[in-house]
Every structure is written in C-alpha cells, then in structure tokens.
Amino acid sequence: MTIVSLIILLFIAGICGALGQAIVGYSRGGCLVSVALGFIGALLGMWIANALGLREMLALNIGGQTFPVVWSIIGSAIFVGLLSLITRRRVL
C-alpha cells in the first residue's frame, strides 16, 4: 500500500465516520475521530453483515485493500448511537 492509497483510505473512512455521526446526530471530536469511527464502523458493520449472512455492498478496492463503504457507515452509526447512550451530555 502506497502513501497515496493510505491517504485516500483515511479520507474515505473519515467521510464514512462523519456520515455515521450525522445520521445519529451526535458529534464528539473532529476529523481524526471521524476517521477512527469510519474504521471501527467498517469492522463492526462487516461483523454484523457476516453474522446475518449479508454480502458486501459498495466495497472499494484501494491499494489492494477492500473497504466496505455502506457497512462502514451503518457500523459507525450503530457505534456512535451506542456511545451517545453511554455518554450523556451534562447539564449545568
């Protein structure tokens, strides 16, 4: 994997994580948090898809690595939803 393909992969993961946060309506952090959520969402989404026997939808091949875009968005939305339930905002 080259540095250009890594940057592209990080960019796509950031977009998927940001979309997951936008779906839930709960945003904590900035760009790096969105990238991390994109990767966590990809892992969680593919795990859910494999458990339910579903196939990969819209998987991008970047530098020899496949990145499941749809499952990343769904997985990051689920993960952010769980985080929002655990960490509630404090009212002062």
pTM of the model: 0.82
Residue 90 has pLDDT above 60, yes or no: no
Enter the tokens of residue 72: 């990343």
Tokens 């690595």 appear where?
Answer: 65
Q: How far apart are CA 88 and CA 28, in angstroms?
A: 11
For the chain, the structural domain boundaries read: 21-85
Could you report the per-residue pLDDT of 59-89, keeping only the tens digit for each? 888 888 888 889 888 999 999 888 888 887 6
Note whether 68 and 42 are within 8 A (CB): yes
Report whether pLDDT(92) > 70.
Answer: no
